[in-house]
Amino acid sequence: MADNKRRGEDADDDRLNDDVVSDSAEDDATDAEEPAAGGGTATRERSRTRIDGDKVGPFGRIARFVREVVAELRKVIWPTRKELLTYTGVVIAFVTVMLTIVAVLDYAFAKGVLWVFGNPS
């Protein structure tokens, strides 16, 4: 099934490449030819749709932001209660170990500096 899907994607890519080639060929042909007397040049018009660059009011931007946040939160795989408690315990244990290491090193360096430079009076 993945092969079929991949073949379909390749076909879409080929069609897109054909469109690009045919568009550039049309551009080359129109550049080389003089326009016909009394006739205009055909232009492609795109349907007007809102894109990211268009101006949107502040409430529209806020609404879009909220919609995107909700969409992303639906993709999250939330941990179970057991996993959450396990992860919390691991984090607390790690922070405690690191805090102890830093405190011991701080105490040792402070004593070493006082020993080297003496106690100020």
Q: What is the pLDDT confidence band of residue 55, given thresholds at 50, 70 and 90?
A: confident
> How does the average pLDDT of the chain come out, rounded?
76
Instruction: Give the 3-state secondary structure of residue 35.
Output: coil
- Contact by Cβ (8 Å): 26, 15: no
Give residue 36's pLDDT band: very low, low, confident or very high (50, 70, 90): low
pLDDT at 43 over 60: yes
CA 2/CA 102 separation, integer angstroms? 53
Query: How confident is the model over 78-85, as a mean pLDDT?
Result: 96
Q: Per-residue confidence at 48, pLDDT binned at 50, 70, 90? A: low
- Mean pLDDT over 17-28 rounds to 50
Distance CA 72, CA 68 (A): 6
